[in-house]
Amino acid sequence: MQLSDLLTQTTDLLTHTTNLEKRDISRLQEVLREHNRLYYTEQSPIISDREYDILFHALKNLEEQHGIWDISSPTKRIDVLVSSQFQKWFHASQMISLDNTYDENDIADFEGRIRNVLRQKNIKTWNNDIIAYAMELKFDGLGLSLTYRNGELVRALTRGNGAEGEDVTINALQIKSIPRSIPFTSREVEIRGEVVLPISEFMRINRERMEMGEKVFSNPRNAASGSLRQLDYTITASRNLAFYAYSFPYAETEEGREQLKIATYRDYISLLESFGFTKTPYIFNASNLGELQSEIHRLTLNRPVFDFEIDGLVIKLNNLKLWHILGTTEHHPRYAIAYKFPAVNVRTKLLSIEHSVGRTGIITPVAILEPVNVGGVTVSRATLHNYDELAKKGVMEGDQVFIVRAGEVIPEVIGPIIEVRNGEEKNITPPTHCPSCGTLLSQDIGKVALYCPAYSTCPAQTSGALKSFVGKHGANILTLGDKIIDIFIEQGFLTDFVSIYHLKEYTLSILDMEGFKSKKVENILESIEVSRSMSLANFFVALGIPQVGRKTGKLLAKYVSDKKPNETTLWDILFHLTYEELEQIHDVGPATAGSIVYYFEENREMIIRLLREVHPTFPVIQIEAEEWKLIGKSFCVTGSFEGISRDEIHAIIEEHGGEVRTSVSAKLDYLIVGSDAGSKKTKAEELGVKILNLEELYKLLNT
C-alpha cells in the first residue's frame, strides 16, 4: 500500500471511528498491520501513538461487538515481518503491552478495577486498605530482552511481535549500559528494558548524515532502532545508545521474591541497579491515589526534560505480591498502566486562509500551513473555528504559529509567534460573499458565525446536506458515497433530497460515465428504493435539522407517531408542531425545540415534495414517556444472541428510554452479555458494572 493511500485511509477511519461497521473490520486490520510494519520493521511511523491507539481500540470494539475471533488480527498479535538478516528466537514469555490512557482522571478508574478484582478474589488484605504506587518514565525507545545464563549475557532479542524477536546480541554488547555479566548465577533469567538514543547523539548523527547526503532519521526512536539493527556492529558502537532495565520476570514470581528478598517495586529497581544496570533517572513513590494524581498533574503541566525522549509515565502497584494476585489479560498486566502526555506544540508557517463552507452554510476559516510533522503525521491544515476566534488570536497570513494536535484529525492553531514577524505578514479579512456560490453572507444578531443564506442553491451546502442525508443513521443509502455525490452534483443529477429519488431517470447517462458499471448503478438504485421506507426517526436525522441527532430523532418520531391519526398526513403534523409542545418532550430543550419548528416552517415545500417520494415507517412500540423503564440508565451490549441481533436489542433499550453506549466504563449502568462476551465482560467485572443476560434485561423491563 502506498503511504499516501495508507494515510488517506487512516484519516478516513479516524474521522469515522464512531460510525464504523462490521464491514470496516478487514480494512482496519489491514491499515493497522501496515502501521505495525512501518513502526516495528521500517522504524518510520506516519501516525502518532494516540491515533494508533484510537484505531486499535476501534477495531477491538468492533471485533467484540460482532463476536469475531481472528488470531491473526492486530488486536491479538503484532504480526510484523521480522527481518531475515537476523536470526529469530521466541521470548521466554510474551512481551505484552501496557494498557494506556491520555486522561488523568482514568487513573482513578484503574484503581477501581484493581479493587474490584481483589473483591472478586475475596482478598481481604488490601481490599479496603490504601494502595501504594510507584511511577517511572515511559521511555520512547525500542524494547529489548536480555537472557543471562550462569550470569553471562548469551542472547539479546528485540521485542519483534511480542512473541518472537530478532537476535541482536552482538550489537547489544556494544551498548555500555548493558552489563556483560550479572551477579545472579543460580538459573537462566531474562531482563527487559528500553534502548534509547540520547537527543544530543541523535542531533549529531543527523548532522553527519546530512553532510554525507544520507536520509536523516525522523526521531530518536527510529534512530535507536536503526542503530541496534546494523549489520556492522561498529556502527552500533559509535552511536552511544543507552539501556534502562525495567523488568525482571523471575523476580515477579513467588519463588523469585523469596529468593531475592524483595517486596516492593523500589526493591525491584534497586536489585536491577545492583546487577549493574543504569539507575533510572526518575522514580516516584506515592502512598495513595491522591499523591499519585497530584504528581501526574504536576508533570503534565511541567513535563520533565531529559537527554532522551519520553512520551509519558508508567504507573505500577508498589507491592509485588499484588502483581501475582492480579495477573494479566491477553493484552496487558492488570497491575500497571501507562499515562501518555498530551500532544506537544510545534511551530510552522501559516501560508494562507481557506474559507470552508459547511453543510449548514456556516463559513469556517481553515489555516493552510507549511507542512510539519506532528506526532508522526505531516500536518498542512488546522482549524481556526470562527472569525471572532481568529481575531482574538491575532494571527496573520505569513505568521509563524504554534499548532497542537492531540488526537484531532484537523489540528488547532494556538497562536502567532509575534516576536518573529518581519513585516511581510498580511491581515486576514473575513469574506463578504460565499466562496462556493458568491451569495452575500449573513450573520445573526448575537451570533459569531458567518453563513451563506443560499442553502439549496449553494453547491457546497448541497454536497454536505446530501452526504448527511444518505448516511447510516439517515436514509442509509451507503452506495451513494461522497465522491459519487460530488460527481452527480457536478453532472446536474443531484440538486436536493428529492432529486435522489429521481436519479433513475439518469440511468443511461450514468452508465456512460467512466467507473459506473451496470451492477454498481443497479446497487445504487436498489438502495434508494429501499430507503423510501426508512424509519421516521431516521427521516428526521436525514433531514439534517440543526441540533437533531439520533436520540432526538427517536424522541421526535415517537411523539409524532403518538399524535398521528390514520387520516392525517405526516406533513400536516410537522407543520403544526409548536415550540411550547416540543419543549415538553423529555430531553428536548428550548434551543432544539426552536430549531425543529423553524426548520419545518422554512422548508415546507421541500418536505411536502420529499414525503411524496418517501413513506417513513412509524415506531411499532408505543410507550408513554412516564412508563419508560430505562430512563437515565446506560447500557452496552456485547457478545452474540440467539434469535436477535445487537441492533434489535439497542432498539428495545432506546424505545424504553435507555441510552446505548459502545464501550465499558465505570459510569456505565449495565452490560448486556451474550455468548463469547470477550474483554468487555472482563472489564465490566473489574469496574463493578452490573452484568445482565437477555432474560434479566426483559425482567428489568417488566418490573
Dist. CA 279–CA 252, nearest whole Å: 19
Structural Rg of the chain based on CA atoms:
29
Identify the active-site residue in 76, 88, 138, 447.
Answer: 138
C-alpha cell at position 186: 543460580
DSSP label at residue 320: H
- The β-bridge relationship of strands 336-340 and 100-101 is parallel
Dist. CA 166–CA 169, nearest whole Å: 9
Q: CA 145, 151, 153 angle in degrees (round to 5)? A: 40
- The β-bridge relationship of strands 670-673 and 377-383 is unpaired
List the beta bridge partners of residue 594: none
- The β-bridge relationship of strands 88-90 and 310-317 is unpaired
Handedness of CA 598, 599, 605, 610 (dihedral sign): negative
> What does 83-149 look like in DSSP terms, one character per residue?
PTTS-EEE-SS------EES-TTHHHHHHHHHHHHHHHTT--TTTSSPPPEEEEEEE-SEEEEEEEE
Dist. CA 460–CA 675, nearest whole Å: 47
DSSP label at residue 341: P
- The β-bridge relationship of strands 670-673 and 690-692 is parallel
Dist. CA 190–CA 205, nearest whole Å: 31
> What does 355-402 look like in DSSP terms, one character per residue?
EEE-TTSBEEEEEEEEEEEETTEEEEEEE--SHHHHHHHT--BT-EEE
List the beta bridge partners of residue 672: 637, 692
Dist. CA 16–CA 689, nearest whole Å: 28
Dist. CA 74–CA 13, nearest whole Å: 16
Q: CA 312, 318, 319 angle in degrees (round to 5)? A: 150
List the beta bridge partners of residue 363: 357
The total number of residues written for the chain in this structure? 703
Dist. CA 479–CA 523, nearest whole Å: 7
Classify 175 as helix, strand or coil: coil
Closest CA to 413 of 425, 399, 428, 401: 401
Query: Residue 196: in which H helix or E strand, if any?
Result: strand 189-196
Q: In what order do the strands lie in the sheet with 659-661?
A: 659-661, 634-638, 670-673, 690-692
Query: Residue 511: in which H helix or E strand, if any?
Result: helix 507-511
- Catalytic-residue membership of 124: no
3-state helix, strand, coil in the chain (%, to 5): 40, 20, 40
Question: Which residue carries 501526574 as its cell?
Answer: 296
149: Cβ–Cβ under 8 A, 6 or more apart, which residues?
188
What burial letters (b/e) apply to 415-453, b meaning 16+ CB within 10 Å?
ebeeeeeeeebeebebeeebebbebebeeeeeeebbbbe
> What does 278-293 look like in DSSP terms, one character per residue?
PPPS-EEEESSHHHHH
* Long-range contacts of residues 584-587, Cβ cutoff 8 Å, at least 24 apart: 585/555, 585/556, 585/559, 585/625, 586/555, 586/625, 586/631, 586/657, 587/551, 587/552, 587/555
Q: Which residues are catalytic?
A: 138
